[in-house]
Amino acid sequence: MDAAKTSKTSKAETGGQSPSGHPALKSQKIGVMLVNLGTPDGTDFGSMWRYLREFLSDPRVIELPRIAWYPILYGIVLNTRPKKSGANYRKIWNRERDESPLRTYTRSQSEKLAEALRGEPQIVVDWAMRYGSPSTKSVAERLVAQGCGRLLVLPLYPQYSATTTATANDKLFAALAKMRRQPAVRSVPAYYDDPVYIDAVARSIETHLASLDFAPEVVIASYHGIPKAYSDKGDPYYWHCLETTRLVRERLGWGEEKLITTFQSRFGAQEWLQPYTDKTVERLAREGVKSIAIVNPGFSSDCIETLEEIAVEAREIFLHAGGANFAHIPCLNDSPGGMAVIEALVRRELSGWV
């Protein structure tokens, strides 16, 4: 090897000069990625089919053996559920943007976080969905292409579950596994008991209840359910939910009968975490309770499960069973309180990087 080539190789190895044809190395930035569950691209059958197929094919969500589950999924579920789900999505669809509220709120959270961090020019904020678009893979690749050598990921689930936080991380790691040039990665842990989060939820409840023309006798903290078997195998989600309710109740100064915990959105025939939200709402009305409110502390943004399943379906169940007054308390969304939580978590986990 001649001297010129040796010199060039040495500079490349030490970072002084890239090999011929190698793309220029950009300055090291820090990517912050907000990740939410996901959303269909539209309410039509095809869009719902694609979204439900990706969601219900996730082995973290449905733990049945593929040989047992796929005939049910492709033979029954994906032939019937897209039409029903599409109709429900149309009830809450953001027609101005032609997208689901979850996408609207998650984008806004990302934009507002970027504005809050504008004093840190090395930080690039983006957002992704575990299911649907923008995909976790595409956003991770985009951040790396922008020169992000470090990546902080915030799964927007306050309580940890393998069906949410873990699968969001799985998707990211799968994308990283195909990258030759990987960034250093941190994932924000569950924040179900974080004081900033608890205070934000409590303040949201107080603010909304103050705007009502009735006083709820019972407030229900309704969380998305998971199969009981998952909890029995060690998923901490159930206990995280109970602890969130306890801390919010403590912050509000309420008794156990005033703020109760229930679980919604069960799917299939197996037993899910109880008590069930719909059954509880019906029972309360039949027992003579006339006024209730429901809050969803397990959702960072309003979505089909809160805007349709709770604000519409649960209301109908309660009123039909004899109730008189019903209120749904919005999620934190991109409100000042909600953004205070996201910013606090991100700034804390960026420690040592910024």
CA pair distance 293, 312, nearest whole angstrom: 13
Q: Which residue has the tokens 């023309």?
A: 213
Angle between helices 78-92 and 45-56 (to 10 degrees): 110
Give the orientation angle of helix 136-145 with respect to helix 167-176, to 10 degrees: 50
Residue 224 annotated as binding site: yes
Tokens in use for 91? 């009830």
Residues 219 and 294: beta-carbon distance below 8 Å = yes
Tokens 């799968």 label which residue?
174
Alpha-carbon distance values, 233 to 161, 166, 225, 227, 321 (Å): 12, 15, 15, 10, 36
The distance from CA 209 to its chain's CA centroid, rounded to whole angstroms, is: 25
Integer distance in angstroms from the first to the last C-alpha of the chain?
43
The Cα–Cα gap between 352 and 254 comes to 39
Which residue, 201, 203, 193, 212, is CA-closest to 293? 212
Residue 329 makes CB contacts below 8 A (sequence gap 6+) with 204, 205, 208, 209, 219, 293, 294, 295, 296
On whether 305 is known to bind a ligand per the annotation, the reply is yes
| Both tokens assigned to 128 | 């992704």
Q: How far apart are CA 94 and CA 98, in angstroms?
A: 6
Which residue, chain included where needed, has tokens 């940890």? 160
One-letter amino acid at 280 equals: T
CA distance 192 to 155: 12
List, as residue ranges, the binding site.
224, 305
List, as residue ranges, the binding site for Fe(2+).
224, 305
